[in-house]
Structure 1
């Protein structure tokens, strides 16, 4: 006679634990709002990190271009003597 305690399908193996949740107890979207909040937080953390580096690089590029163009200008004091000599001779040569 097969009883509930000794049926072959009811046997328990030692050291093996089986857990299950009824499909009627499971929630498909459990914790969905919390996961969306964490995803948004991680996204904006990455955006802030990248944006700060990109903004710093952009301003470094702008500064370097301005410095380059400023350093390539001719100093008018350097050519003041030549301009005075040309004005004295009346020459229009360049």
Structure 2
């Protein structure tokens, strides 16, 4: 399950476009599932954030604001690495057009 040590990302290319956010969730899910099935990550979550209420309910804070500039909707992703993982998650997520927001 996702813990406080998950890497957090926002998909920057789909901010403000609901239909594109939905497509990105599906595409991202396919890619992250492959990584998960290869036992390279402990878990992942993809969240469609449509408004301020979603932000509060999902407890994601305000780290996304530098990427979204207050626009909704957007895709928020959490990736939980394995304890001794040597995979560069930031590089993988950058290829999917995500920006890390927790570092």
Interval containing the TM-score (normalised by the shorter chain): under 0.3
- Counting strand residues as a fraction of each chain, which structure ranks higher? 2
Name which structure has the greater RCO, CA cutoff 8 Å, separation 6+.
2
TM-score by length of 1: 0.24
- Counting helix residues as a fraction of each chain, which structure ranks higher? 1
TM-score by length of 2: 0.22
